[in-house]
Homo-oligomer: A and B are copies of this chain.
Amino acid sequence: MAEVRQDTVRNNLLRLMPANVFEQIRPHLEHVPLSRGFEMSAPLQQPAHAYFPEVGIASIVAESAEGQKAEIGIFGRDGMTPTALVLDAKKDPYSTFMQVEGYGYRMPASLLTELIQRERELQNLLNRYAQAMAVQSAYTSLSNAVHHIDVRLARWILMCHDRTDGDEISLTHEFLSIMLAVRRPSVTTALHVLEGRKFIYSERGVIIVRDRAALEEFARDAYGKYEQEYERLIGPIG
C-alpha cells in the first residue's frame, strides 16, 4: 500500500474521518480495482470487507423472494458499503455491486466494526452517512410511487452524473430497466424523450449528458433531497 495520504484520498468518508482514526485504518487499506458487476456485498451473507470507492458507481438492489428487483440506492466516492456494518447488523438483505467500473479501497469488515465501537467520531460520521442513504432510499420509494418513467430516468442519470468525472455514462437499457424496475423497451422510449429534448445524447451502451440544468428542471422534485441531506450531514458530494 506504499503511501496513502488522507488529504488526497478521493473517497469523502475516508477523507473526512479524524486523522488519528485514519492512521489506524491506513495499514489495512487495500487499493482494489472495482470492475463492472463486481459484487461488494451479497444478500444475507456476512461481508468480509468494507469498500470505499474512489472512482466508479455502485448500486444497492433489493430483491424479493420471487426475484423481483429494484434499486434502492446508489453511491460512489460519496459513500461506502455495507452500511449494515455501521448499524451493528453485520449483513443485510441487499445486493451491492459495481455498475460503472472504477477503483477504491477496502478494509477488513472486522476492523471497521471494531473501530466503530471504539471511535466515537468515526461512528458518528458513518451514522450520518447511513442517515443520508436512508433518505435516498426513502425518496427512491416516493419516486417509484408517483413519478413517470422519464422523470425517474432523469433523476437516475443525474445521480450517476454526480458521481462520474465526465459526462459519459456507460450502460445498457437492459441494466437500466432493472434499476428502475420497468420493462426494457420503456427505457428505450424514455431515453428518446430525454434525447428529443436535447438533455442527453444516447447511443449503444452510452448516455452522454448534454444539458444538466435542463435535466434537473425536468426531474423537478424527484431530484435533490438526498443531495441536500448529504451536504448537511457530511459535506459537498463533489
| Residues on A facing B (Cβ under 8 Å) | 62-66, 68-70, 72-73, 83-84, 86-89, 92-94, 117, 120, 123-124, 127-128, 130-131, 133-135, 137-142, 144-147, 180-181, 220-222, 224-225, 228-229, 233
**Chain B residues within 8 Å of A140, by CB:** 141
Contact flag A131-B68 (CB < 8 Å), given A62-B142, A144-B144, A229-B93: no
Question: 12 additional contacts, CB 8 Å, given A73-B138, A146-B181?
Answer: A62-B139, A64-B146, A65-B221, A68-B146, A68-B221, A89-B233, A93-B138, A123-B123, A130-B130, A130-B134, A141-B144, A144-B145
**Chain B residues within 8 Å of A117, by CB:** 120
Is B134 in contact with A62, judged by CB distance below 8 angstroms? no
Across the two chains, which residue of chain B brings its CB closest to A226?
Answer: B93
Is A128 in contact with B89, judged by CB distance below 8 angstroms? yes
Question: Which 10 pairs between the two chains have the least Cβ-Cβ distance?
Answer: A141-B141, A145-B181, A87-B131, A64-B221, A65-B221, A144-B145, A89-B131, A144-B144, A72-B138, A66-B221
Contact flag A62-B131 (CB < 8 Å), given A89-B233, A146-B68, A146-B70: no
Is B87 in contact with A128, judged by CB distance below 8 angstroms? yes
Is B131 in contact with A88, judged by CB distance below 8 angstroms? yes
* CA distance in complex: A46, B218 (Å): 31
**Chain B residues within 8 Å of A147, by CB:** 68
